[in-house]
C-alpha cells in the first residue's frame, strides 16, 4: 500500500505539472474535445501574456523605476563628464579651424560673404543716419548739454583769439606786419599814397602810433563784447541750417569707403576664420565646464523626466511584452518556466510520492488493526 500510494502521489503530481503545458493543442476524438486539452498555459496563453504585460508596466518598468535608474545624481555626474569629454575631444582639441568647420558644413567663401555683410551694415548705418537728419536743423539734433558746452567754448575761443592777437601785435613780428600792411596800403593809393609817404617819410612813426592803438582795441571790453555778439549771431545762424544741406556740400563717398575698409581690416575675418576654437578662446573649455555643460545636463535631465512618461506610453511596453510572449513557441515558454522552477517542480513530485506513501502506510496500519479486531 505504501508503494502504491507513493506511486500514485508522485505520478499524479508529475502529470499535473505536465498538464500546465501539455498538450500544446486541443485533442479530439471525433468532434469531442478531450477534457483538459490543451494544457493550462497554452489554453490561457492570451490571458497570461496580457496579465504579464500589465504587471511589467504597473510594477516593474514604471516611470518611477526609470527615473530612479537613469535620472539620479550619479548618472547626472557621469553625463556631465561625458559631455565635457566630447567637447574637449571633438571641439576644443580639434585641429580644425573655423574655416574647416564651415567648409564641412558646406559653407564656402564665408569671409567674402561676411565682408559684404559688413559693408552693407555700414551702408545701412549711413543711410539710417541720413534718414534721421533729413530736414532737421543743427538746433533740433544737438543735445541741450552740447549747446551749453558749445556756448562756453565759443566765449573761451573769443577770449583766446583776442589774447593771441594782442600777444602777436606786441611782438616784433606783429610790428613788422603792421609796417608791411601800412606800406602796402600807401603804395596802393597811387599818387595820394606817394604824397603821404613823402610827407610822412618813413612809416615807423605811424607804426609806433598804430601798434598801441591796435593792442588797446583788442584788450577793450567793448571789443570782447562785440566779437562775442558776432560769434553768437553766427552761431544762431549755423544752428538754423539744415544738417542735410550742410553735409550735402561735402562728398562723403571716399569717407564711407574708408570706413568700410577700416571696419574690414579691424574685423580681420580671414585671420579669425583660420584659427581654431582653442586659439580664439583659450579658456573656453574651463568656461564650458562651469557655465555651459551643467546647464545642458540639467536641461537634458529635466526634459528627460518630463518626457519619460509620454515616451513610455508611446512605446507601449505592455503591448510589446504581450506580443513577445505570444510570439514565443510554447516549447520555449515551457523551457523558460521549467528552467526557473524545475527543482521546485521535482520537489512537488517527491512531496506527492511522500504523501501518497504515508497515506498507504496509514491504510495498511488501519487494515491490520481492523483484521485483528
Per-residue pLDDT, 338: 63
* Residues composing the chain: 373
Please report the pLDDT score of residue 330 as a whole number: 65
Cα→Cα distances 360→1, 204, 351, 355, Å? 4, 166, 14, 9
Q: 117: left (phi > 0), else alpha (psi -120 to 50), else beta?
A: alpha
Which of these ranges, 5-14, 96-105, 155-164, 328-337, has the smallest mean pLDDT? 328-337
Arithmetic mean of pLDDT over the chain:
79
pLDDT of residue 187: 65
Q: Quick one: pLDDT at residue 241?
A: 84
Cα 305 to Cα 38, 71, 80, 117, distances in angstroms: 45, 7, 16, 43
**What burial letters (b/e) apply to 84-93, b meaning 16+ CB within 10 Å?**
beebbeebbe
pLDDT of res. 174: 83
Report residue 83 as a C-alpha cell.
Answer: 559631455
What one-character-per-residue DSSP string does 234-283 give?
A: HHHHHHTSBHHHHHTTS--HHHHHHHHHHHHHHHTHHHHHTSBHHHH-TT
Average pLDDT over residues 11-39: 68
Are residues 273 and 111 in contact, defined by beta-carbon separation less than 8 angstroms? yes
pLDDT value, residue 323: 73
Is pLDDT above 60 for 248? yes
Determine the pLDDT at residue 109: 85
Instruction: Dump pLDDT digits (tens) for 221-237.
Output: 888 889 889 988 888 88
The pLDDT tens digits of the residues spanning 307-363 come to: 777 777 777 777 777 776 666 676 666 666 666 566 766 777 777 777 888 888 888
Portion of the chain with pLDDT greater than 90, in percent: 2
Q: How confident is the model at residue 182 (pLDDT cuts 50, 70, 90)?
A: confident
Query: What span, in angstroms and rounded, lies between the C-alpha atoms of 57 and 181?
Result: 112
Least confident of 62-66, 182-186, 228-232, 238-242: 182-186
Torsion angle in degrees (nearest 10) through CA of 84, 85, 86, 87: 50
Taking residues 41-64, what's their average pLDDT? Answer: 70
Whether residue 66 is predicted with pLDDT greater than 80 in this model: the reply is no
Q: 301: closest CA among 108, 135, 83, 58?
A: 83
What is the three-class DSSP state of 35? coil
Q: How confident is the model at residue 198 (pLDDT cuts 50, 70, 90)?
A: low
Which are the contacts of 83, defined by CB distance < 8 A and separation ≥ 6?
293, 296, 297
Task: Give residue 185's pLDDT band: very low, low, confident or very high (50, 70, 90).
Answer: low
> Across 171-180, 188-197, 338-347, which has the greatest mean pLDDT?
171-180
3-state class of 32 per DSSP?
A: strand
For residue 191, pLDDT over 80 is answered with no
Give yes or no for a contact between 240 and 137, defined as CB atoms under 8 angstroms apart.
yes
User: Do the beta carbons of residue 87 and residue 364 sit within 8 Å?
Assistant: no
User: Which H or E run includes 29?
Assistant: strand 28-29
> What pLDDT sits at residue 362?
85
With 80 as the cut, is the pLDDT of residue 33 above it?
A: no
Amino acid at each position: 500500500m505504501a508503494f502504491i500510494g507513493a506511486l500514485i502521489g508522485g505520478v499524479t503530481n508529475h502529470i499535473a505539472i505536465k498538464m500546465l503545458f501539455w498538450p500544446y493543442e486541443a485533442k479530439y476524438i471525433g468532434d469531442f474535445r478531450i477534457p483538459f486539452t490543451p494544457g493550462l498555459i497554452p489554453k490561457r496563453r492570451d490571458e497570461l501574456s496580457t496579465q504579464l504585460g500589465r504587471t511589467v508596466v504597473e510594477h516593474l518598468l514604471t516611470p518611477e523605476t526609470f527615473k530612479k535608474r537613469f535620472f539620479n545624481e550619479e548618472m547626472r555626474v557621469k553625463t556631465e563628464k561625458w559631455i565635457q569629454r566630447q567637447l574637449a575631444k571633438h571641439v576644443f582639441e580639434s585641429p580644425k579651424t573655423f574655416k574647416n568647420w564651415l567648409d564641412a558644413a558646406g559653407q564656402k567663401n564665408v569671409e567674402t560673404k561676411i565682408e559684404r555683410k559688413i559693408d552693407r551694415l555700414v551702408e545701412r548705418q549711413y543711410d539710417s543716419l541720413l534718414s534721421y537728419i533729413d530736414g532737421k536743423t543743427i538746433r533740433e539734433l544737438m543735445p541741450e548739454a552740447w549747446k551749453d558746452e558749445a556756448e562756453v567754448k565759443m566765449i573761451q575761443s573769443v577770449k583766446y583769439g583776442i589774447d593771441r592777437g594782442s600777444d602777436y601785435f606786441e611782438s616784433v613780428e606783429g610790428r613788422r606786419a603792421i609796417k608791411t600792411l601800412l606800406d602796402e596800403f600807401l603804395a596802393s593809393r597811387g599818387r595820394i599814397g606817394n604824397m603821404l609817404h613823402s610827407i610822412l617819410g618813413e612809416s615807423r612813426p605811424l607804426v609806433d602810433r598804430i601798434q598801441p592803438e591796435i593792442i588797446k582795441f583788442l584788450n577793450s571790453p567793448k571789443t570782447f563784447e562785440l566779437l562775442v555778439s558776432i560769434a553768437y549771431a553766427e552761431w544762431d545762424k549755423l544752428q538754423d541750417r539744415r544738417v542735410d544741406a550742410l553735409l550735402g556740400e561735402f562728398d562723403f563717398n571716399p569717407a564711407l569707403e574708408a570706413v568700410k575698409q577700416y571696419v574690414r581690416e579691424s574685423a580681420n575675418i580671414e585671420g579669425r576664420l583660420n584659427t581654431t576654437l582653442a586659439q580664439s578662446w583659450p579658456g573656453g573649455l574651463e568656461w564650458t565646464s562651469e557655465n555651459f555643460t551643467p546647464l545642458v545636463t540639467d536641461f537634458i535631465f529635466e526634459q528627460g523626466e518630463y518626457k519619460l512618461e509620454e515616451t513610455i506610453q508611446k512605446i507601449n511596453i505592455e503591448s510589446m511584452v504581450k506580443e513577445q510572449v505570444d510570439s514565443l513557441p510554447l516549447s520555449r515558454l515551457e523551457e523558460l518556466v521549467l528552467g526557473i522552477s524545475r527543482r521546485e517542480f521535482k520537489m512537488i513530485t517527491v512531496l506527492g510520492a511522500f504523501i501518497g506513501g504515508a497515506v498507504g502506510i496509514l491504510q495498511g496500519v488501519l487494515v491490520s488493526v481492523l483484521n485483528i479486531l
